[in-house]
């Protein structure tokens, strides 16, 4: 995606591993805040650093799933949590949307664009799904 665009561009970030309804609801609500939604998908290395385990689905598959959604205009790779400012500028973001588990963490970027936190969907998570499949719950 380039930064040349009309209308309000919304950006969000995440791993979106073992894609589930909580991910979908977050993306649909983010998309509704503007005209197009662009999603930064965490690299396998970044996910490992964030969550202490490799993702179940590799980056190319996670990107293909998110890119295919009707509410998503485009995707790019997020390689570093600290590079948010660069990504927002590069992508021409008007709004940054994050789940409310990140509340306050990105307020310092509000000079670049509007920063919004949306409530997470309760009772669904990739970790819980993995544990359930393993028979641990
Ligand atoms: N999410 C949600 N409800 C859930 C689970 C996840 O709304 N039950 C949201 C998260 O808040 C996040 C998005 O779905 O906004 C993607 O979730 P993750 O893949 O867990 O993303 P995360 O590891 O928080 O990555 O730069 C920041 C990160 O890359 C965010």
DSSP letters of 54-117?
A: --SS-HHHHHHHHHTSTT--EEEEE--GGGHHHHHHHHT-SEEEEEGGGTTTTGGGTTTSEEEE
Please list the residues that pair with 116 across neighbouring strands: 97
- What three-state secondary structure class fits 70? coil
pLDDT number for residue 51: 87
Q: What is the mean pLDDT of residues 66-92?
A: 97
* Closest atom, ligand 1, to C-alpha of 42: 29
Q: Report whether pLDDT(117) > 60.
A: yes
What does each C-alpha distance from 90 to 19, 56, 85, 107 come to in angstroms? 26, 29, 9, 18
Confirm or reject: Cβ of 16 under 6 Å from ligand 1: yes
Residue 3 pLDDT class (50, 70, 90 cuts): low
Q: What spacing in Å lies between the alpha carbon of 127 and ligand 1's midpoint?
A: 12
Q: Report whether pLDDT(65) > 90.
A: yes
Q: Which of 31, 49, 28, 56 is nearest to 125 (CA)?
A: 56
Q: What is the mean pLDDT of residues 130-135?
A: 91
Q: How many CB atoms lie within 10 A of CB 72?
A: 19
Q: What spacing in Å lies between the alpha carbon of 91 and ligand 1's midpoint?
A: 20
The protein residue whose alpha carbon is closest to atom 7 in ligand 1 is 120
Indicate if the alpha-carbon torsion angle 9, 88, 26, 1 is positive or negative: positive
pLDDT number for residue 6: 79
Q: What is the mean pLDDT of residues 79-105?
A: 96
Confirm or reject: Cβ of 43 under 6 Å from ligand 1: no
Please list the residues that pair with 123 across neighbouring strands: none
pLDDT in tens, 14-56: 999 999 999 999 999 999 999 999 999 999 999 999 889 999 9
Mean pLDDT (the chain) is 94
| Spatial CB neighbours of 79, under 8 Å, sequence gap ≥ 6 | 43, 45, 46
Confirm or reject: Cβ of 120 under 6 Å from ligand 1: yes
pLDDT number for residue 52: 92
Residue 136 pLDDT class (50, 70, 90 cuts): confident
Confirm or reject: Cβ of 22 under 6 Å from ligand 1: yes
pLDDT number for residue 71: 98
Q: What spacing in Å lies between the alpha carbon of 14 and ligand 1's midpoint?
A: 5
Confirm or reject: Cβ of 116 under 6 Å from ligand 1: no
Q: What is the mean pLDDT of residues 89-100?
A: 97
- Determine whether 74 is exposed, middle or buried from the number of CB atoms within 10 Å of its CB (0-12, 13-18, 19+): middle
Domains present along the chain, CATH in parentheses: 9-134 (3.40.50.620)
């Amino acid at each position: 995606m380039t930064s040349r665009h009309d209308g309000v561009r919304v950006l969000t970030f995440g791993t979106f591993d073992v894609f589930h309804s909580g991910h979908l609801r977050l993306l649909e609500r983010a998309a509704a805040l503007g005209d197009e939604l662009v999603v930064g998908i965490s690299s396998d290395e970044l996910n490992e650093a964030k969550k202490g385990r490799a993702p179940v689905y590799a980056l190319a598959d996670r990107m293909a799933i998110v890119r295919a959604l009707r509410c998503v205009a485009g995707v790019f790779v997020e390689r570093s949590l600290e590079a948010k400012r660069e990504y927002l500028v590069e992508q021409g973001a008007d709004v940054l949307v994050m789940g409310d588990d990140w509340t306050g963490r990105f307020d310092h970027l509000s000079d670049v664009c509007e920063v919004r936190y949306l409530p997470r969907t309760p009772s669904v998570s990739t970790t819980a799904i993995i544990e359930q499949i393993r028979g641990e719950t």
